[in-house]
Amino acid sequence: MLSTTKTPLAKHYYKLVLLVFSLLFFLVENGNAQQDAQYTQYMYNTVSVNPGYAGSRGHISIAALHRSQWVGLEGAPTTQTFNIHSPIGYRGVGLGLSIVNDKIGPTSETNFDIDFSYTLYTSAEGRLSFGLKGSAHLLDIRFSELNQYGPDQTLEQDIHNRLSPNFGAGVYYHTNNFYAGLSVPRFLETSHFDESSLSTAKEQMNFYFITGYVWNLNPLLKFKPTLLTKVVRGAPLQVDLSANFMLNDKFILGAAYRWDAALSGMAGFQISNKFLIGVAYDKETTELGSAAFNDGSFEVILRYDFITTKGQVKSPRFF
């Protein structure tokens, strides 16, 4: 029988959520703005935004994701992500590598990230991880592909593989059924044009808060609501809410809502306790979502966990 009594952890969780939302709204009010790559299946791609997640699955984990946004719209964003992370021999240490390629119109960006995490054991189930992320950012802008209706000296030379370093940090807490994380993947607000230029391309800090909980409704059915909140100065607050059901540790079906932006459907199949495939479809709720503009957004993710088990086979973890 389920108990409705709040545990001390639940009380702290509610306080944490309230504190984070207060911080995020403050940043929005006081904060101009370019955002990191966007994902609907963020719950399977946490290491891309929070280095504290590196190694938290307890074994080597590899994931690859492709996203085509606003299909049918010329120059629409496409994103490819690859990451691998694992705990290493030293107790509590995790390492990871992520590569994110994001293309929008004549602009291509690639981030190469190295993630380091250190985990503290707070209880029999609780793990608190602190992460650092080191990044190398490559930027291409092909001004020659733009339709210019008049000469503009600031758009005469293309940008080829402009390299800029960056770093980020994150904190991530999880138990067998609950997780929450707060992170800033990139702290440096790098400008990619000369100060004298009339135009600037400036990276902004993106603040992420992610959380979720897995309820075992019965021996065959799990329910997982999740939340991702992203804040970048000068852009609207982004809130992603999702709910997924997992049947028999195999079949996943869910839906998501991106506040004031899109509705999404998600499905997944745990082919084995090691191999997961997931797909998602987004339909814009804004005017951009009209069929005259695009056919929605599609996303697919593949994840493989190098699980070594002795005796009883582990059930796949739902986050």
What is the rounded CA–CA span in Å between residue 66 and residue 256? 18
Instruction: Label residue 119 by pLDDT band (50, 70, 90).
Output: very high
Contact in structure between 192 and 159 (CB atoms under 8 Å): yes
CA distances from 92 to 54, 81, 128, 232, 308 (A): 11, 26, 10, 31, 19
Looking at residue 29, its pLDDT comes to: 40
Which has more pLDDT, 1 or 48? 48
Q: What percent of the chain has pLDDT over 70?
A: 76
pLDDT at 34 over 80: no
The tens digit of pLDDT for each residue in 39-68 reads 999 989 899 999 999 999 999 999 999 999
Number of other residues whose CB lies within 10 A of the CB of residue 124: 7
Instruction: Label residue 27 by pLDDT band (50, 70, 90).
Output: very low
Contact in structure between 46 and 83 (CB atoms under 8 Å): no
Among residues 235, 137, 177, the alpha carbon closest in space to that of 10 is found at 177
pLDDT at 306 over 70: yes
3-state secondary structure of 213: strand
Looking at residue 235, its pLDDT comes to: 79
The tens digit of pLDDT for each residue in 228-272 reads 999 988 778 899 999 999 999 999 999 999 998 899 999 999 999
What is the rounded CA–CA span in Å between residue 38 and residue 178? 23
The tens digit of pLDDT for each residue in 158-176 reads 777 789 999 999 999 999 9
Question: Which residues have CB under 8 Å from 181's CB, separation 6+?
Answer: 46, 50, 52, 53, 170, 171, 172, 173, 208, 209, 210, 211
Retrieve residue 196's tokens: 């004298």
Looking at residue 162, its pLDDT comes to: 84
Which has more pLDDT, 159 or 285? 285
The tens digit of pLDDT for each residue in 173-198 reads 999 999 999 999 999 887 655 444 44
Retrieve residue 58's tokens: 């307890």
pTM over 0.85: no
What is the rounded CA–CA span in Å between residue 226 and residue 184? 19
What is the rounded CA–CA span in Å between residue 132 and residue 221? 36
Looking at residue 289, its pLDDT comes to: 63
Helix (H) or strand (E) holding 96: strand 93-104
Looking at residue 314, its pLDDT comes to: 61
The tens digit of pLDDT for each residue in 69-115 reads 988 888 889 999 999 999 997 789 999 999 999 998 888 899 999 99
CA distances from 162 to 54, 111, 137, 317, 319 (A): 28, 12, 8, 39, 35
Looking at residue 285, its pLDDT comes to: 86
Looking at residue 234, its pLDDT comes to: 76
Q: What percent of the chain has pLDDT over 90?
A: 55
Looking at residue 236, its pLDDT comes to: 83
Looking at residue 297, its pLDDT comes to: 92
Retrieve residue 77's tokens: 């964003």
